[in-house]
Chain A
Amino acid sequence: MTALTRTAPVTRRRFGWAKLAAYAILVALAVVYLAPMAMLIITSFKTLPEFTRDAISLPKSFSIDNFVEAWNKASFPRYLLNTVIYTAASTAIFVVTGTFLSIAIARRFVRGSGFLFTMFLIALFLPPALIPQFQLILRLGLYNNPIGYVMLFLVNPIGIVILVNYIRTIPTELDEAAAIEGCSYFRFVIQIVIPLIKPAIATVAVLHAIGVWNELILATIYLTKADYYPITRGLIVFNGIYGNNWPVLAAAVLMIAVPIAAFFILMQRYIIGGVTAGAVKG
């Protein structure tokens, strides 16, 4: 007891300095992370002359003119709707087909399950599918076609790996109990397994949706008609036209970033859970 009381103040004081240093480093890094975001927000409320005079100072008045202008001139509603459609359609199809696939693979209900799982595991290392994929879509006559574009996002190997690993944590006694009750395979999958793996499905759906939502390159390759542009492509084109009018451009970027931020804060648990899934196990 005496030994503890003697050493305690010393450790506490040393810890105090360490704590201060830790905070100093974290705050410095936070500045680096916040600065570009803060500048985007500040700029979006400024007039162009204000921005040119002093890029850093706060705006004189918080006018929403830039937002109105960006919304009207950038065909925002249309691009946003396109993005929502592409994201929803491809995520729905991937999640449904991917879940059925993962259950059978995780439980080894089909021959060659181990081999199939390996096929998904190595996908990360394989050569990029970009060029043959383009030839395929071209020959299917689906180039510059929203359906062809959605087809590019119907598979996601990492999602399968996350699902399979999660399903494996569910005890197999459950399968036996269901089988004894005379449950059919379809009912087993839909009414028993899927409700149990909802968190993993949510994680995979969210990760996949973010990927489709943010896609720029494939939209640049496959969609040349402005009516089909997703919001990412729309922003880049808008940037080409409004390259020097930073206040309006910043307003446009911000209007896309804010919904993503809101979504992130709501879904943070699933997103970070998905990123770290399997990582700790190695």
Chain B
Amino acid sequence: MRYLFGNGASRLAPYLLITPGLFLYALFALGPSLATVVFSFTDASGLPKLPINWVGFDNYKEFLTLGAAARENLDALVRTLIFSVGVTVIQFSLGLFVAILLNQGLRGTKFFRTLFFFPVILGVTIQGLMWTLFLYPIGGPLATVLDWFGLQSEFLGGQPREAFIWVMVVQIWANMGITMVIFLAGLQTIPDEIYEAARIDGADRGQLFRRITWPLLTPSVNTNLALTIIGSLQAWQLFYVLISYRPGTQVLGYVVYATAFGQTSGSTAGTTFRQGYGAAAGVILFLIVLAIGITTQYLLRRREARLLG
């Protein structure tokens, strides 16, 4: 658009005003983000005095092929995918289902919406501690309930597989609200008249959903899938709060953090900060996110073209 607020020096006014914001973005977000790739080819550590050397693809080779650690890394990679698929499928379906229920004009809708969204803003610390209490294995609340039925479980302290599933549960509990409100906003854009017309034509509930709701919800479906897939691939902070770095449970995001900031195997200080290696792990995670992201975008576009023409 044409600039209307004078020429010469006053033409520079908008440039002047964007400079601080742009500078901060370049320095603290975009720059470091791209520099991750550069760092992944070095042996950078977390200590300021040590020199940084180029090591080529060594970090990548080590991460993917060297001994037991590499096997653990590949396990973490598989686990990340399992976590992401599980969380995405359940959070997406549950969010859609709840949004549809809350779009029926039922009484108390506002209460349910507020309640289901509330965990989102509590943040991982409170989410995590709340569930740590709830799942406290020795006489904790859920343990007591299980005890009534003669059952018991160690929950987060149990076998890696069990702990992992509980983290998934908390992750979905914590973030389903986001999916739900995005679907609700989408549902509210569908005019009632379309449903009325279809009902007059004798469409049943299933047909209303398949022929009207689902196709017209495409923009929210796309947004939610993208957000949930990317979010769950990168998620790891609840692992940190709920079970910390435990063998057999880590996901890639946690591996990046733990190797770069020396918090592997529960120890928190004194261990090495392998930032170059951590950066390589970060780039690998990024490439996975990118590949999955592009594939889903492609599939969603094709679906959108088919549905909406």
Contacts and interface: CB of A to CB of B under 8 A. Distances in A.
A216 B125 contact: yes
Contacts of B119: 33
Interface string A18-51: 0100110110011011111101100100000001
B248 interface: no
Nearest to A99: B21
A226 B302 CA distance: 53
A168 to B, nearest CB: 11
Interface string A233-253: 001100100000010011001
B32 to A, nearest CB: 4
Q: Which of B189, B224, B257 has the most CB of A within 10 A?
A: B257
Contact of B219 (A125, A217, A235, A279): A279
Contacts of A213: 123
Nearest to B253: A128
Contacts of B286: 126-128
B33 A127 contact: yes
Given A55-B141, A280-B189, A131 B275 contact: yes
B97 to A, nearest CB: 8
Contact of B28 (A151, A184, A239, A261): A151
B28 A129 contact: yes
B121 A104 contact: no
Interface string A164-204: 00000000100110110001111011000000000000000
B96 interface: no
A151 B29 CA distance: 11
B29 A123 contact: yes
B3 A109 contact: yes
A65 to B, nearest CB: 18
Contacts of B28: 129, 133, 136, 151-152, 154-155
A171 to B, nearest CB: 12
The B contact surface, by secondary structure, is helix
B14 A104 contact: yes
B64 interface: no
Interface in B256-278: 256-257, 260-261, 275, 278
A265 interface: yes
A214 B18 contact: no
A279 B223 contact: yes
Interface stretch (B72-80, B83-91, B108-116): B108-116
A127 B282 contact: yes
B48 A138 contact: yes
Interface in A97-111: 97-98, 100-101, 103-105, 107-110
Please give me the 4 A-B residue pairs with the lowest Cβ-Cβ distance, nearest first. Answer: A214-B123, A282-B219, A101-B21, A179-B4
